[in-house]
Amino acid sequence: MYKLRNYLFLLFIGLGITFTACEKDGLTEEEVLDLTQKTTFAVNIREEGTNQPLAAVDVTISAGSNVYTSASDEFGVAYFENVEQGDVIIALQKEGYFDLSQEAEVFSNGRLAGDNITLRMYSEEMAAVVRGNVKIQIDLTSEAYENPAGIDIYAKYNNTVISSTKTDADGNYSLIIPTTANGRYVTIHFPDLEFDQKVAIREEGVVVSKTVKGTIFRPYDKAMALPSTANILATVANPNYSRGRQAYVESLTVEAGVITAVELGDIGYGYSINPTVYINSLDGGSGANIKVDYDYNSSYCYPEYYRLDPNEIYIYDGGAGYPDYEANINVSTMHPGGFKWNNCDYLNETERVESGDVYIIDVNYGTGTELGEIL
């Protein structure tokens, strides 16, 4: 116990000498403690793809309420003194390169050890571009589409957003994606949307205009069937594959009580047999026997993507006694379309984009995947 007391005594004397010396040098005990919580920090900056050092990069470190600035030297290194340890945000800027913002943790095992990080910037000259136009059907009583402005579209790499943009007043967008000569695997994300719609409804034989409140538009979902004001309802049989999408009839032609033509709207997909077109007349008529050929074009990749052929509609029997056709005032139901890299892969699936390439992708949200309340 005596020896322990001596050691403690000597320790306190040592600490006293240390703090006294610091105070003589103009540092208080609180300032010394503050210094032990800070460290030197170096940011090493390289060009992605070439690994060459990047000089003259403006580097900003935000640590709590403190902001530190510096620039990289000829070796691509920016040095910082007395950086507060803990979580920080590092921002890089250089003309001709994509801005970079990175979260990091500054940590040191000792005041003199310091810490460092290596970050890589992408050259704008090596970018890939994804651009196109966005459409949506808000007025269901008109063939004209609307172009939603200000919707957020972004590209992700390994769950990190690497590029983002908004649609302009005409629904146009352009994503500039940082990449290298070897390309880069990305996914493109379009948001779910919500809009009110205008629709026509047949009520007791009279067609009236209504508002659909809060229809949801999901890029990768199936459209919900719209109400029809037609006096003869034509419905295509369901697709054979669960992943398929229902086809819809646009209009009919009736001559002297006989159905002589059928026009498809959305041709759906997932049909492996010729589906029947079912006819339901509100004012009499019967006997129609109509089928549609399916298109087994190999470009659709898989059978569940086989579509109907709108030019191959077989009217084996047009029936008899059908009334003159009163056309549907609403547009026919339309599924979301165009949200694909090609016929098989959706945009939210990973695809490699090549440096210098431009990908034109026009998308259509369709008539809505979850209709709101009709008021």
CATH of the domain at 49: 2.60.40.10
Is 111 domain-assigned? yes
What pLDDT shows up at residue 40? 86
Provide the residue range defining the domain that includes 74.
37-120
Looking at the domain assignment, is residue 309 inside a domain? no
Identify whether 88 is part of a domain.
yes
Give the residue from 121, 101, 102, 99 showing the smallest Cα distance to 48: 121
Note whether residue 104 is domain-resident.
yes
Tokens 């470009």 -> residue: 299
Helices assigned H by DSSP within the chain: 2-24, 29-36
Domain count, the chain: 1
- At residue 11, the pLDDT reads 36
d(CA 216, CA 221): 10
Question: Does residue 139 lie within any of the structural domains?
Answer: no
Please tell me the distance from the alpha carbon of residue 153 to that of residue 338, in angstroms, as a whole number. 14
What share of the chain has pLDDT > 70, as a percent? 87
Q: How far apart are CA 131 and CA 360, in angstroms?
A: 5
| β-strands 58-63, 86-93 pairing | antiparallel
Distance of CA 83 to the CA centre of its chain: 37
Per-residue CA distances from 351 to 46, 216, 320, 342, 357 (Å): 25, 27, 53, 10, 13
Q: Which stretches of the chain drop beneath a pLDDT of 70? A: 1-37, 108-114, 296-300, 343
* Residue in 353, 365, 359 with CA at minimum distance from that of residue 156: 353
How far is Cα 326 from Cα 278, in angstroms, rounded to an integer? 17
- pLDDT of the residue at 89: 92
